[in-house]
Structure 1
Amino acid sequence: MRPSLLLPAFALTSFALAGLMAGCQPAAQPEATLILHGGHIITPETPEATALAVAGDRILAVGPDTPILALQGPKTQVLDLDGATVVPGFNDSHCHLYGLGQALAQIDLVGTASPEDVAARVATAHAERPGDGWLQGRGWDQNDWPVQEYPTRALLDVVVGTRPVLIRRIDGHAALASSQALALAGITADTPDPDGGQILRDKAGRPTGLLIDNAVDLVLAIIPQPDADEVARRVRLAIDHCHRYGITGVHEAGVSWERVGYYQSLAQAGKLDLRIYAMLDDVPATLDAAFAQGPIFTPDDIFTARAVKIYADGALGSRGARLLADYTDQPGHRGLLVTDPAHLREVSRRARDKGFQVGAHAIGDAANRLLLNIFSELNKEDGSVRDPRWRIEHSQILHPEDIPRFAREGVIAAMQPVHCTSDMDWAEQRLGAQRLAGGYAWKSLLDSGARLCFGTDFPIEKVDPLDGLYAARTRMHPDGTPPGGWQPQEKLDGATALRLYTAGSAYAAFMEDRLGVIRPGYYADLTVLSGNPVTCPPAQLLDMAVRHTIVAGRVVYSAE
C-alpha cells in the first residue's frame, strides 16, 4: 500500500484545491465512478465528512460535499444520501453462505413455536412438492417450545408417510429424520453411535429419529447432491439475501474444493459481487488439493481461500458442547469432542506450514481450552509462522482463567453476539450460574487485549447484522428483556460493536490494510443506513433500514 493512499481524504481534496488557488497545476485526480453525498460518513480521519468518492473498486476521497462533487465526471454515478449514514460494509466473520442458500431453498422452520408447528410446515411442503423425493428443512429449536424436549420421527411420519425427510436443528448440530430416512441410511437399533455423534434411542433401544453431531452425517451421506444449476441458484439466493441486509463480505466456514472452484469461476467472470473469505472443509480430498496448491487469492480480493475450518465440539443447545464439568441439567454428561485432538493438532500444523489460517469451532470451555493448548504448543515450535492468526470460532463458554490466553497466544475470538441473546434464556439451565462468568464474554476478552471479530453464524441465526449490533450493545431481547441486559458487564458501546463487524473482520482475514475502514485507497465496500448505528439509542437499530449496499465500488442493492 503506497503511503499516499493512507492520507486523510479531506487532506487530499484540500491539497488539490490549494494548488488551484496558488496558480499551480495540481496532480490530476482520477475521475470518480461513484459519489455519495449529503449524508454522514463514519470514518476515523474526517468525522465531519458528508460525502465520499469512489474510483473503480477503491475509495478515492472523503470530505465535505463541495470538493467531493468536484470529482464528478460525465459517467459518474451520483447518489444523494438525503441524510443517511455510510459505514464500512458489514463483513460477517462467521457464516455459512451456501447453507443460507440451502435454507432459502428448503423448508424454513425458524421460529416454529411447537412440534405441531414444525409438522404443519413439513406437511405444507409435502403437499406443495408431491412425490417421494427427499424433503429437507432447518431451523427448529426445542428450547423455544412449551415443552423443551426433542421431537421423534413419529412427528414426521404422520404427515409424510414413507417419504424421507431430514430437518436440522437451528444450530445444525442435531437433526430429526423420518423413519424412511433412517431406513435408507441403514440406521437401526444395532447401529453404533459414530465417533463424535449420538443416535438417540427409546427405552427399547430403537432410534427415535434424533441424531446429534456426527450421527447426522449418516443420513446426509445418502441424500442426492444438487446439480450445478441448483448450486448456482442457491448461491445467488444467498448473496442477494446478504445484500438486502447490507452485507458486503463474508467469512464462509466450511467450503468444499468444488465450491472453491465455483467461486473462482464467478470471480474470474466478474460475476462475484460479495467478498468471500473461504474456510475450507476438513475433508482429506479438499485439504490435500488445497495444501498442494497453496492459498488462493484473486487480484481484487473478491475471493480468498486461505483458511481451514476444524471442529472441536458440538453445540450448547443440543448438549454437544464439550465442558470441563458435567452439564447442570444432565449430570454425568459433558458433551462431545467431535474430532480427535491428535487430528486437530496435525491439521493445524499442516495448515500453518502451507500458509493457511485455522478457524477452529469451539463452544464449550473444555473445547476452547483444548484448542488454546494446541495453538500454544504450535506457537512454540521451531520455524513457527510469525503471525498465523489462529481463530477460535464462537469462543462461547470460557473458563475465566483461559480468557487472557487469547491475547497471549495470538488467537482471534470469532464471536456472534446474537448467540448470546438466543441462548441466554436457557444457558443457566445447561451451565449453572457459576460458569456464566465466562459466557459470551466479549468485553472481558477485549479488556484482556484479545482480537475479536463479529458475525451471525447464519443461517443458524438471522442474517441481519443490525440484530447483532443490538445484541452486542444491550444483551437483551428486542422487547427489552431482561431489564438492563443479561450479564450486562459484557455490553459494548456502539463504536466498538461496529468496529468488530467491519475492521475486526478485516483483520481476521489479513486485510486490515485495505478493508474495513472508510479511507482513501481502501476497498469501496460500503453500507448505507437510514440512521447512525454508533450514536443511536440501541432500540433504534431494530428499525434501521439498509438503503444501499456497495461492493467493490458497485451498487449491488438499493431499497425501493
Structure 2
Amino acid sequence: MKTTLYVAERVRTLDAARPLAEALVVRGDKVLAVGSRAEVQAAAGAGAREVDLGAAILVPGLVDAHAHIAGLGLSLTTARLEGAGSVEEVVRRLGAAPDTCFQGDWLLGKGWDQNAWPGRVFPGRAELDARFASTPVCLMRVDHHAFWVNGEALRRAGIGRGTVDPDGGRIVRDAAGEPTGVLIDNAMDLVSAVLPEPTNAQRETRLRVALERCAQVGLTGVHDAGMDWESFRKLREWDAAGHLPLRVYAMAAGQGAERHAYLENGPHEGRMLTMRGAKLLADGALGSRGAALHEDYSDEPGQRGLLLLSPEELEARARAFMSRGFQVCIHAIGDRANTLVVDVLIQCAQETGTRGLRHRVEHAQILRREDIQRLGAAGLVASVQPTHATSDMGWAEARLGRERLAGSYAWRSLKDAGACLALGSDFPIENPDVLAGLYAARTRQDAAGWPEGGWWPQERLTAEEALEGFTVGPAWASFAEGRRGRLMPGMDADFVALSVDPVEGPAAALREAKVLATVVAGAEVFRA
C-alpha cells in the first residue's frame, strides 16, 4: 500500500489526547500515525512519499450534514438566478440561457428569491409570458419549496381557475382567483408531473459537476437529504466501480412513490456510498410562508403554513422506515412542524425499539423552548445549517415577530439541551462553501460583518464547536464516529488543507480563506 507523509504548519486533530501535531502519515486509505515530523517519519519508514503543505492547516475531513447533490448539479447546469435583484433581472438571465438549461423543451432555472427584490412580493406569470409566450418555463425558488411558472407551463399542467389546492400545497391566486404562476410545496407536483424526465446524460453530468464542486470547497463527504432512486442507482454503480470521489451518506427519498423501492431493498453499505437514512418532510420553508407555525405569520395574518403530510401519514411512514432499519430524518422548519416531528420521532422510536438509530430533525429551525429541551433529552440529532440564519436574518423577524425568534436558529440552545449538532449548508439552497458555514456558526454575521456582535449572538458556537459540527457531528450522525471525524491512527484518511486555522485564526479570516487540498480515503481529490 502507498505511504504518504503530509507535513503542515499545524495538524488540528480533534483528538483530546493530542489536539495538535506537525504531520501525519497515510498508508492506503487509513491514517497510520499523527505527531511530530520526526515521529511520523519514523512510522512511515523508508520510501514514503512526502508532501510539504507549508503554512497550511490540516483538519479532519469536512462533511456537509444536509445537502442535495443532484440539486446542486441542476443548479450548476440550468439558469442561475441566485442574487438576481428583480423580476426584470431574472427575465434577462433567462433570455441569455444556453441550451443546457432546457429539459426537453422546458426552460429551467433555480435560485430566485422575492425577499431580495423591491417590495418583497411574489412574482407573476405575466412577466414570463411577455418574453416566453410558447416555451414552458419552470423556475424553482431558492428554498426548493416553490415554483414560478409561466402561462404555457400552467396550461400543460392543467392548472386553471378551477383547480383545487392539493393537500399540503397552495396555488397562489390574484384577486380574481386566477393562478399567478407561483406554486408552493405540494402544488409544485402538478407541474413536476408533466415536466420531461432528464436524459441519462443530463443526470450523469449533473452528478459529476456537483461532486467536483464539493471537492473544490473542501468537502470530503455529504449527507444527501432525500436522494432520488435514479441518482442512488448511478452513485451505487460508480461506487462499485471505484469511481465515487467523496463519501456520500444518502437518505432515501421517503416523500413520494419511490419510497417503496427503498423500503423493499433496505439499507445499503458500499465503500464510499451508504444508504441508511430516510428523509421525510413535515412542512415547507419560511421564505415562501410554507413553514408550519402554531400561530399566524406576523406579516400575513390568517396564514400558518403547510403540513406536507398529515400527522397520521408522517407517523406511518416514520414507523415503516424505522421498522426496516432506517434512521428517520424529518424536515421541520416551523414551530408547529417541530413539535409534531419531535412527537413522532420519540413515539415511533419507542414503539419500534430504534432509539439507537439516532433519528434526526433536519433544520430544527423554529422551536418552542420546551421542544428544544425535548429534542435534546430524546437524544435526537439536530441537523442545522448556519448560513440559513445569516441568509434569513434580514426578514425573519417580519415573518415571525420578535418573540418567536428566541427559539429560532438556536444552535447553542440545542447543543446545551443535549442534541448532537450536525452542521450543513442545504446546498444548493445555500452555497456549498463549508468555510462560509464555519464563519456563520461562529459569528452569526453576513460576509460584511453585519450585524455588529452577531444576530442573536447568544446562540453562536465557539470556533472549535463549529469545526466539530462539520466533522465529529456528521460522523456521529452517520454512525461513523469510530472511523471519521478526527485524525487518529486507524481512522479513515479524510482531511482538508486550509490556508487559515479555523479555530485559532480570527473568524473574519474565514471569509477569504482557501481550500488547498482535499483528501478522501488517502486519495487527493482536489489540489489548488
TM range (shorter): over 0.9
Q: Are residues 1:374 and 2:344 paired?
A: yes
Structure 1 counterpart of 2:329: 359
The one-letter code matched in structure 2 to 1:106 is T
Structure 1 residue 452 displacement after superposition:
1.1
Deviations, residues 193-215 of structure 1 (Å, cap 9, x unaligned): 11111111111211110110111
Structure 1 residue 283 displacement after superposition:
4.8
Q: 1:132 to 1:416 in 2, by over 3 A?
A: closer
Structure 2 counterpart of 1:406: 375
Q: Are residues 1:100 and 2:69 paired?
A: no
Distance in 1, Cα, partners of 2:99 & 2:251: 37
Write the mapping of 1:310-321 to structure 2, written as runs, cut at 5 A: 310-321=280-291
Write the mapping of 1:126-525 to structure 2, written as runs, cut at 5 A: 133-283=105-255, 285-298=257-270, 300=271, 302-381=272-351, 384-525=353-494
- Among residues 63, 72, 77, which one is paired with 2:35 in the alignment? 63
Native 8 Å contact 2:8 2:58 kept in 1: no
The one-letter code matched in structure 2 to 1:327 is Y
More displaced 10-residue stretch of structure 1: 180-189 or 383-392: 383-392
Structure 1 residue 256 displacement after superposition:
2.0
Structure 1 residue 227 displacement after superposition:
1.7
More displaced 10-residue stretch of structure 1: 57-66 or 43-52: 43-52
Distance in 2, Cα, partners of 1:345 & 1:526: 39
Distance in 2, Cα, partners of 1:129 & 1:380: 47
Aligned length, in residue pairs? 526
Native 8 Å contact 1:245 1:546 kept in 2: yes
Q: 1:314 to 1:72 in 2, by over 3 A?
A: same
Structure 1 residue 377 displacement after superposition:
1.6
Q: 1:68 to 1:428 in 2, by over 3 A?
A: same
Native 8 Å contact 2:101 2:109 kept in 1: no
Structure 2 counterpart of 1:12: none
Distance in 2, Cα, partners of 1:236 & 1:127: 19
Q: 1:319 to 1:549 in 2, by over 3 A?
A: same
Give the % identical residues: 46
Q: 1:165 to 1:528 in 2, by over 3 A?
A: same
Structure 1 residue 465 displacement after superposition:
0.8
Native 8 Å contact 1:360 1:393 kept in 2: yes
Q: 1:127 to 1:455 in 2, by over 3 A?
A: closer
Deviations, residues 422-478 of structure 1 (Å, cap 9, x unaligned): 001111100000011000000011111111100000000001011111111111111
Q: 1:373 to 1:414 in 2, by over 3 A?
A: same
Native 8 Å contact 1:126 1:160 kept in 2: no
Distance in 2, Cα, partners of 1:69 & 1:558: 23
What's the secondary structure of 1:273's corresponding residue? Answer: coil
Distance in 1, Cα, partners of 2:361 & 2:150: 34
- In the superposition, the TM-score normalised over structure 1's length comes to 0.91
RMSD, aligned CA: 1.7
Distance in 1, Cα, partners of 2:89 & 2:191: 24
Q: 1:180 to 1:386 in 2, by over 3 A?
A: closer
Structure 2 counterpart of 1:544: 513
Native 8 Å contact 2:67 2:425 kept in 1: yes
The one-letter code matched in structure 2 to 1:347 is R
Distance in 1, Cα, partners of 2:256 & 2:353: 23
Q: 1:129 to 1:56 in 2, by over 3 A?
A: closer
Structure 1 residue 33 displacement after superposition:
2.3
Distance in 1, Cα, partners of 2:498 & 2:102: 42
Q: 1:477 to 1:33 in 2, by over 3 A?
A: same
Q: 1:166 to 1:73 in 2, by over 3 A?
A: farther
Native 8 Å contact 1:32 1:53 kept in 2: no
Q: 1:284 to 1:245 in 2, by over 3 A?
A: closer
Distance in 2, Cα, partners of 1:463 & 1:152: 29
Native 8 Å contact 2:363 2:383 kept in 1: yes
Native 8 Å contact 2:78 2:102 kept in 1: no
Distance in 1, Cα, partners of 2:273 & 2:435: 25
What's the secondary structure of 2:96's corresponding residue? Answer: helix
- In the superposition, the TM-score normalised over structure 2's length comes to 0.97
The one-letter code matched in structure 2 to 1:308 is A
Native 8 Å contact 1:126 1:135 kept in 2: no
Q: 1:60 to 1:131 in 2, by over 3 A?
A: closer
User: 5+ residue gaps in structure 2?
Assistant: none
Q: 1:186 to 1:513 in 2, by over 3 A?
A: same
The one-letter code matched in structure 1 to 2:40 is I
What's the secondary structure of 1:359's corresponding residue? Answer: strand
Structure 1 residue 350 displacement after superposition:
1.2
The one-letter code matched in structure 1 to 2:367 is L
Native 8 Å contact 1:32 1:73 kept in 2: no
Distance in 2, Cα, partners of 1:130 & 1:535: 46
More displaced 10-residue stretch of structure 1: 458-467 or 64-73: 64-73
Deviations, residues 485-518 of structure 1 (Å, cap 9, x unaligned): 1101001110000001111001111111111111
Native 8 Å contact 1:115 1:151 kept in 2: yes
